[in-house]
């Protein structure tokens, strides 16, 4: 007997519950409201028992709606959990940005989500040695047993302060997958095994000792997976390994779903004798949002709208990210100056966390703070020598800029194949690792290789910059914990030493302090201090307009 099922999966939703972006205050092409409509249409065609709905994590960060219910409106069931129950998800794997919200948020979310299982087989409770999250679940539909094993990227310690994952250990994915696959095969007798992974495909670049994206290794080295649903890298993909395992990634922000058709053949005793898996990535942008969904969650949408429309100040001009790729910018100077004010540090290091954000002239609202600062990071003050600061910048600008030989060469490192991160499809590396510095004056020689690009001439006040002196340096917690490896691989500070370098850290997220600082000021004006520049100018000046057009056309 032949039976056909559809596995529909979302991932890296990043709080996009509604067909509206509360950061840009504009309609959004994706949203779980649209996904809900699509899933219901498939259930109507296939039958309720023939559709499974899964999510692979990173849903609790990225939009004001989730921030509001993570940290402010905490006295109610989390709306994301309620949304997932309404849509009848069968399972979800936790992601690194879910962990980044902190224990109080994801522990509460897990309780609110029940009985939908929150998976994470490779996350261990240190006190008990047992899995902190449910390692896997078995879903039985129409006489067929689907085992779903959840794993997330093991590089959590490379990005997040320990207090966010205190008491937990994250095991490498391959080791965990191998052990749990044996357990599932021996104990559960599954007909189909699905890997629900918050980890991307390519394992070509480790994050210090952790493999950030390991789905390809698991597919090749751990026998038994019929399907692996990937995430984390935001790259839509359908890949068939030589051993037959299908890997699929729905991308990000609920603009698409991964849709896998599983066809099984059962003998007269109900045993599966053949299983075929095929998949595609489907856009939901043309699907009207689920009206029942919108009606049920109208109060949450209204409250979020009121939250983001709260006036916090006035801007006398535009602050845009685009200028930040080609020199000092008002957008980055706003972040730098506020980081220095909040921390009292000597030097600020920061990158544009949004690829192409803009804060417009006029009334500043809470929504602008989410454009200014995308995720919930604390502000840290580190002790770094002048030489470490220079080496940090050497790696940053090497990620960012090419080595130019003539005005005809590109200034930026444009992607020719698959980018590292799907959001940054025109560049080789993601811009959230393009740190510039404030508090020092320096040049970046685009004709030189890494190690010879940066020349720091002085501190901002004109006093000498000393390679051997120790400075107080303001960075976000992601960077302070080794995120992007600019401090570890770039500055040369070992990961084990990072904790001892932290002089101070804010209790709340940096966005909160930025918002409070703007409220105190009342008005902010775009100011550009030319504390750094690309040289030689006769080569760079020709490349900048050409690269700007290529990047943003």
Cα–Cα dist 110/123, whole Å: 14
Bridge partners (DSSP) of residue 359 are 319
pLDDT band at 463 (very low <50, low <70, confident <90, very high): very high
Residue corresponding to tokens 């898996």: 277
Choice among 21-25, 409-413, 508-512 with the minimum mean pLDDT? 508-512
pLDDT of residue 426: 82
| pLDDT of residue 91 exceeding 90 | yes
| pLDDT of residue 198 exceeding 80 | yes
Residue 236 · residue 221 · CB < 8 Å:
no
Average the pLDDT over 144-169 and give the result.
93
For the chain, what is the mean pLDDT? 94
Residue 225 · residue 195 · CB < 8 Å:
yes
Mapped onto helix, strand or coil, the DSSP state of residue 93 is strand
Cα–Cα dist 162/190, whole Å: 36
Give tens-digit pLDDT for 387-397. 999 999 999 99
Give tens-digit pLDDT for 418-459. 555 554 568 888 899 999 999 999 999 999 999 999 999 999
pLDDT of residue 266: 82
Domain limits, the chain: 2-305, 310-552
Share of the chain above pLDDT 90, in %: 85
pLDDT of residue 419: 54
* Closest to 322 in 3D by CA, of 97, 553, 113, 120: 553
Cα–Cα dist 516/1, whole Å: 64
pLDDT of residue 332: 96
pLDDT of residue 205: 65
* Closest to 249 in 3D by CA, of 47, 28, 54: 54
Domain 310-552 has CATH 3.90.780.10: yes
Bridge partners (DSSP) of residue 113 are none
Phi, psi of 319 (to 5 degrees): -120, 110
| Of 212 and 326, the one with more pLDDT | 326
pLDDT of residue 509: 87
Strands 440-445 and 227-229: unpaired
Residue 207 · residue 158 · CB < 8 Å:
yes
pLDDT of residue 38: 98
Give tens-digit pLDDT for 486-503. 999 999 999 889 999 999
pLDDT of residue 542: 94
pLDDT of residue 438: 98
Mapped onto helix, strand or coil, the DSSP state of residue 245 is coil
CATH number of the domain at 2-305, please?
Answer: 3.60.21.10
Output the six-digit token pair for 200: 């991307």
Residue 469's H or E segment, with its range, is none
| pLDDT of residue 278 exceeding 90 | yes
Residue 95 · residue 316 · CB < 8 Å:
no
| pLDDT of residue 379 exceeding 70 | yes
Give tens-digit pLDDT for 347-376. 999 999 888 889 999 999 999 999 888 888
- Residue-wise burial string across 75-113, b where 16 or more C-beta atoms lie within 10 A, e elsewhere: eeebbbbbbbebbebbbbbbbbbbbbbbeebbebbbebb
pLDDT of residue 223: 95
pLDDT band at 61 (very low <50, low <70, confident <90, very high): very high
Per-residue three-class SS string for 324-386: HHCCCCHHHHHHHHHHHHHHCCCEEEECCCCCCCEECCEEEEHHHHHHHCCCCCCEEEEEEEH
Share of the chain above pLDDT 70, in %: 97
């Amino acid at each position: 007997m032949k039976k056909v099922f559809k596995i529909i999966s979302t991932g890296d939703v990043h709080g996009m519950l509604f067909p509206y972006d509360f950061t840009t205050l504009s309609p959004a092409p994706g949203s779980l409201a649209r996904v809900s409509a699509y899933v219901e249409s498939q259930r109507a065609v296939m039958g309720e028992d023939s559709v499974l709905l899964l999510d692979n994590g990173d849903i609790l960060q990225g939009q004001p709606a989730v921030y509001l219910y993570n940290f402010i409106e905490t006295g109610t069931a989390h709306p994301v959990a309620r949304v997932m129950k309404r849509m009848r998800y069968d399972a979800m794997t936790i992601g690194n940005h879910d962990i980044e919200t902190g224990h109080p948020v994801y522990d509460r979310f897990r309780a609110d989500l029940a009985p939908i299982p929150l998976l994470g087989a490779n996350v261990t409770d240190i006190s008990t040695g047992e899995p902190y999250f449910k390692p896997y679940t078995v879903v039985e539909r129409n006489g067929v047993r689907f085992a779903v094993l959840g794993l997330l990227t093991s590089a959590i310690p490379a990005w997040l302060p320990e207090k966010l994952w205190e008491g937990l250990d994250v095991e490498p994915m391959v080791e965990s997958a191998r052990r749990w696959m044996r357990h599932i095969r021996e104990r559960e007798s599954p007909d189909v095994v699905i890997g629900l992974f918050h980890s991307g495909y390519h394992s070509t670049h480790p994050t210090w000792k952790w493999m950030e994206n390991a789905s390809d290794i698991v597919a090749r080295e751990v026998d038994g997976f019929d399907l692996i649903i990937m995430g984390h890298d935001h790259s839509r993909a359908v890949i068939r390994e030589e051993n037959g395992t299908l890997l699929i990634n729905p991308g990000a922000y609920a603009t698409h779903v991964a849709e896998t058709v599983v066809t099984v053949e059962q003998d007269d005793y109900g045993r599966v004798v053949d299983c075929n898996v095929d998949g595609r990535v489907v856009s939901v942008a043309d699907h009207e949002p689920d009206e029942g969904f919108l009606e049920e969650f109208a109060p949450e949408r209204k409250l979020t709208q009121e939250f983001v429309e709260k006036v916090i100040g006035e801007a006398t001009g535009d602050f845009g990210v685009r200028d930040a790729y080609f020199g000092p910018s008002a957008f980055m100077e706003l972040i730098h100056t506020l980081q220095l004010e909040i921390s009292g540090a000597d030097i600020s290091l920061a990158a544009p966390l949004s690829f192409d954000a803009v804060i417009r002239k006029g009334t500043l609202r809470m929504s602008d703070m989410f454009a200014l600062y995308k995720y919930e990071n604390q502000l840290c003050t580190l002790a770094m020598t002048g030489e470490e600061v220079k080496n940090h910048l050497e790696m940053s600008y090497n990620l960012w800029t090419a080595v130019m030989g003539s005005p005809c060469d590109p200034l930026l490192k444009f992607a020719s194949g698959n980018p590292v991160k799907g959001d940054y499809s025109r560049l080789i590396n993601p811009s959230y690792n393009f740190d510039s510095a404030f508090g020092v004056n320096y040049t970046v020689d685009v004709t030189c290789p890494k190690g010879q690009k940066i020349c720091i001439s002085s501190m901002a006040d004109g006093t000498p910059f000393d390679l051997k002196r120790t400075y107080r340096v303001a960075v976000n917690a992601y960077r302070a914990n080794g995120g992007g490896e600019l401090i570890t691989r770039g500055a040369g500070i070992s990961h084990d030493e990072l904790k001892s370098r932290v002089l101070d850290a804010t209790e709340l997220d940096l966005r909160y302090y930025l918002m409070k600082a703007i409220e105190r000021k009342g008005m902010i004006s775009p100011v550009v201090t030319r504390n750094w520049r690309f040289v030689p100018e006769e080569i760079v000046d020709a490349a900048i307009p050409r690269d700007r057009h290529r990047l943003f056309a």
